[in-house]
């Protein structure tokens, strides 16, 4: 959730900016907005999992992930509306026809090890998790902690993924309970690669649980925090 002086933001737009127009903005479940853009491709073209940044305000940027690429210049982004942060306000103002600028360089894929993989995240990471899982020929296990009022609709759309209802005042708690129980029952034996995304403090606990149980070496776990308790909201 970067912040930078307005001048730096304008310079970033000069070098990395891609002209984009909103084609569709639809709420697919409570708190989840899917936006389709007609967007000028960056060097190397758009790829699922591509990270893009927007200037939510003159000094505040927010990062999102391309979930699907429909054509060379048509992409979809799935974002979570989390509280009243700058990104949520920017997203809620998008309408078909809205002109904006997406900042994107050449795609750098996430490093995910192994072939029997476990992908874990919260609602803020669902677009990234889906992009990674859809490209994985080994059908990874995908675990997502989402707001309780969105879980049923998300399960209908992604029946292969396991959605857990989040506790409003304790991010990561339901995933940690699932991990503890799965470790106790030895259900994760054989997992050789893990991707942990989303809430920073939860990621730390999840990694400690997996490493502490002797299931994985730290080098087999890829992490990327998207937000943290005590920081400015999404």
pLDDT single digits (tens) 179-190: 999 999 999 999
Domains of the chain: residue spans and CATH: 6-103 (2.40.30.10), 117-227 (3.40.50.80)
The answer, yes or no, to whether residue 206 has pLDDT greater than 90, is yes
pTM exceeding 0.85: yes
C-alpha–C-alpha distance, residues 152 and 171, integer Å: 19
Q: 27 falls in which pLDDT band (50, 70, 90)? A: very high
- CA dihedral of 125, 126, 129, 130, whole degrees rounded to 10: -150
pLDDT of residue 6: 77
What SS3 class is residue 53? strand
pLDDT of residue 1: 47
Q: Buried b / exposed e across 115-128, counting CB within 10 Å, b at 16+? A: eebbbbbbbbbbbb
Tens digit of each residue's pLDDT (9 = 90 or more) over 47-94: 999 999 999 998 889 999 999 999 999 999 999 997 788 999 999 999
Residue range 128-132: average pLDDT?
Answer: 97
Identify the H or E element spanning 10. Answer: helix 6-16
Residue range 197-203: average pLDDT?
Answer: 97
Which has the closest alpha carbon to 206: 112, 122, 80?
Answer: 122
Alpha helices in 81-229 (DSSP H): 86-92, 126-134, 151-157, 173-184, 200-212
Whether residue 16 contacts residue 4, with contact meaning beta carbons closer than 8 Å, is answered with: no
């Amino acid at each position: 959730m970067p912040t930078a002086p307005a001048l730096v933001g304008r310079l970033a737009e000069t070098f990395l900016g891609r002209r984009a127009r909103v084609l569709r903005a639809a709420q697919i479940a409570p708190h989840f907005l899917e936006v389709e853009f007609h967007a000028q491709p960056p060097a190397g073209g758009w790829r699922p999992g591509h990270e893009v940044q927007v200037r939510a305000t003159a000094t505040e940027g927010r990062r999102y992930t391309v979930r699907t690429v429909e054509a060379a210049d048509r992409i979809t982004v799935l974002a979570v509306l989390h509280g009243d942060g700058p990104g949520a306000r920017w997203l809620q103002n998008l309408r078909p026809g809205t002109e904006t600028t997406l900042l994107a360089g050449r795609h750098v894929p996430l490093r995910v090890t192994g072939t029997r993989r476990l992908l874990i995240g919260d609602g803020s990471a669902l677009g990234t998790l889906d992009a990674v899982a859809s490209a994985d020929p080994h059908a990874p296990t995908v675990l997502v902690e989402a707001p309780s009022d969105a879980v049923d609709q998300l399960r209908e759309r992604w029946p292969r993924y396991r959605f857990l209802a989040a506790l409003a005042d304790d991010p990561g708690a339901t995933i940690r309970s699932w991990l503890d129980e799965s470790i106790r029952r030895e259900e994760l034996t054989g997992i050789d690669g893990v991707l942990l995304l989303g809430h920073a403090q939860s990621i730390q606990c999840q990694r400690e649980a997996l490493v502490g149980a002797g299931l994985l070496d730290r080098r087999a776990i890829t992490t990327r925090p998207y937000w943290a308790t005590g920081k400015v909201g999404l």
